[in-house]
Amino acid sequence: MSNLSFQKMKKCYFLKSKSFVLFSLIFSIFFIGSGFSLLENKSKKPLFVVVIDAGHGGYDVGNECSDLKKFKQEKDVVLPVALQLGEYLENLLENVKVVYTRKNDTFVSLEKRTEIANEASADLFISIHANHNPIKNIHGCQVHIHNGNIKFSKIFAQKLMKQLSERAKRKVLKIQTANSRGHNLFVLQNTKMPAVLLELGFMSNPNEEVYLNSEYGQTILASAIFRAVREYREVAQ
Ligand SMILES: [Zn+2]
C-alpha cells in the first residue's frame, strides 16, 4: 500500500466514522425524542376507571342452563367474560383501572355492587348477564340502560351494540331503557356514572347456549366489549 492510498483510506475512514457519529446522533435524538413523546402521551391520558360487574354469584346462580352436565349456570357463564374483558383493558389500554364487583364465585348484593362502583368514582359501569326466555327461538344480545336521556350511557350502549353486531357477528336486540322495560334495574338506577347492563345472549336458545359456554364465544364477546370501551373512552374523556 502506498502512502497516498493509505492517506486516502484514513480520510475515507474518518469521513465514514464522522457520518456514523452524525447518524447515531440523529438516530438517538429521534428515538429519545419519540420516547419522550410516548411518555407525554401516556401521562396526558387521564385515569379511566371501569367497574366490571359479573352478574350473580354464590348461591345466586342466575338463569339456569338446560343441562348441568354440558353447560354452566349464568353466574359461571358471565364470570370468564368479565375477567377476560378486565385483562384486555388492563393490558391493552394505558392508564386504565379495572375494578371488579366479584372475581370468583361469591355472592355480592346489588347494593354492594353499586356501592363499589360509586366509591371507585368509576367512569363506566358494565354489568354482564345472560338472558332466558320461555320461547326458545328468541336470541341475541341486549343492552339495558337506565334511561334513554342519560347521554353517555346511551353513547356507550350504541358502541357496544355496534361492536357486538359487527365484530362478534351477534344478533342485537333493541336497547332497553327503564321506560321500554317498564321497570328499573337496581344496578343501573343506583350507579352514579354511565352504566349499562349487557345480556350476552339467551341461555334458553340451544345455539346461543353452546356459544355462550364456549371459550371461543366468550373471547369474541369480551373482545367486542373491550373495543366498545376503547372507542367510548375517546369520546368520553
Ligand atoms: Zn342475570
Map out the domains of the chain as residue ranges: 1-44, 45-236
| pLDDT top residue among 27 and 48 | 48
Give the predicted TM-score (pTM) of the model.
0.81
What spacing in Å lies between the alpha carbon of 145 and ligand 1's midpoint? 15
Q: What cell was used for 106?
A: 361469591
Alpha carbon of 127 to ligand 1 centroid (Å): 9
Percentage of residues in the chain with pLDDT exceeding 90?
Answer: 74
Residue pair 51/120 in contact by the 8 Å Cβ criterion? yes
The number of C-alpha atoms within 13 Å of 196 and in the hemisphere containing its C-beta is 29
144 compared with 150, residue with greater pLDDT:
144
Dihedral, 146, 147, 149, 153 alpha carbons, nearest 10: 30
Give the residues across from 100 on adjacent strands.
Answer: 52
pLDDT for the residue numbered 31: 46
Q: How far does the centroid of ligand 1 lie from the alpha carbon of residue 175, in Å?
A: 16
pLDDT given for residue 7 in this prediction: 55
What's the confidence (pLDDT) of residue 205? Answer: 98
Q: How confident is the model at residue 16 (pLDDT cuts 50, 70, 90)?
A: low
- pLDDT at position 32: 45
Written out in words, the top-level CATH class of the domain with range 45-236 is alpha beta
Mean pLDDT, rounded, for 141-148: 88
pLDDT at 52 over 70: yes
End-to-end CA distance of the chain: 70
Residues in CB range of 54: below 8 A, 6 or more apart: 75, 78, 79, 81, 82, 83, 100, 101, 102, 128
The alpha carbon of 75 and the centre of ligand 1 are apart by a number of angstroms equal to 8
CA distance 210 to 18: 67
